[in-house]
Amino acid sequence: MQWLKDHKFENHDEAAQGIDKAKAEGRQNAMRPLLNYVEAHNMERGEVRELRDKAEDAYNRGGKLSDTDDARGW
């Protein structure tokens, strides 16, 4: 038990890396339905760019609502 108490914070870097990986995967997964929609509707390049920009903006605004830095203790 004492060993666990002495070493309870040693995984901080690993936890932070896990959070970063989850964020990157979430970003990719969030765009997948949009890309499927674009492909299914044969959208023009300009339409795709506009739709992608709006989706990225919405995703980034949502990311500001919950800050993973708090989970890291920063």
**H/E segment holding residue 62:** helix 45-63
Digit-coded pLDDT (tens) for 15-37: 778 888 888 898 888 889 999 99
Nearest to 59, CA basis, from 21, 22, 39, 29: 29
**Predicted TM-score (pTM) of this structure:** 0.54
Residue 11 pLDDT greater than 60, yes or no: yes
